[in-house]
């Protein structure tokens, strides 16, 4: 019976779960707010992991988002070391953090739909 998920998918999901916990518990930078790890995409050779995160900031400040992404990318080697302690693989992938704005785009599209629904139909 063939495997339902490839090794890269399974490992990506495990890295996602572990990174979410590590960022929440081990990253002790007061400038970092709420971060959600949306998904992890691994390269075919498992050398790199592109980690897509959402930064929850109260005022949608682009400066705060850029600062948080810089902090995460600077802490990538620390997080990679911590991640390696829990994973059962020979080589832990290099982490590259990217901002995922899908929640913001979804909210914008939802607002446009509600705005269009409130307008009276034009004949």
pLDDT in tens, 3-46: 566 888 889 999 999 999 999 998 888 888 889 999 999 999 98
Q: Where exactly are the structural domains of the chain?
A: 7-118
Longest dimension (CA), the chain: 66
Residue 51's pLDDT band, with cuts at 50, 70 and 90, is very high
pTM: 0.81
β-sheet with 34-42: strand ranges across: 34-42, 48-56, 94-99
Residue 1's pLDDT band, with cuts at 50, 70 and 90, is very low
Provide the CATH number for the domain formed by 7-118 in this structure.
Answer: 3.30.300.20
Share of the chain above pLDDT 90, in %: 49
pLDDT tens, 66-82? 999 999 999 999 999 99
Phi-psi region of 10 (alpha: psi -120 to 50; beta: other; left: phi over 0): alpha
Range among 46-50, 55-59, 115-119 with highest mean pLDDT value: 46-50
């Amino acid at each position: 019976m063939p495997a339902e998920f490839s090794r890269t998918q399974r490992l990506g999901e495990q890295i996602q779960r572990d990174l979410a916990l590590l960022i929440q518990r081990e990253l002790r930078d007061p400038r970092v707010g709420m971060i959600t790890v949306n998904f992890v995409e691994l390269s075919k050779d498992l050398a790199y992991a592109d980690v897509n995160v959402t930064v929850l900031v109260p005022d949608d400040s682009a400066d705060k988002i850029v600062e948080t992404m810089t902090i995460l990318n600077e802490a990538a080697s620390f997080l990679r070391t911590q991640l390696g302690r829990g994973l059962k693989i020979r080589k832990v992938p290099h982490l590259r953090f990217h901002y995922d704005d899908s929640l913001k785009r979804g909210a914008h599209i939802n607002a446009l739909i509600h705005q269009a629904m409130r307008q009276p139909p034009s004949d």
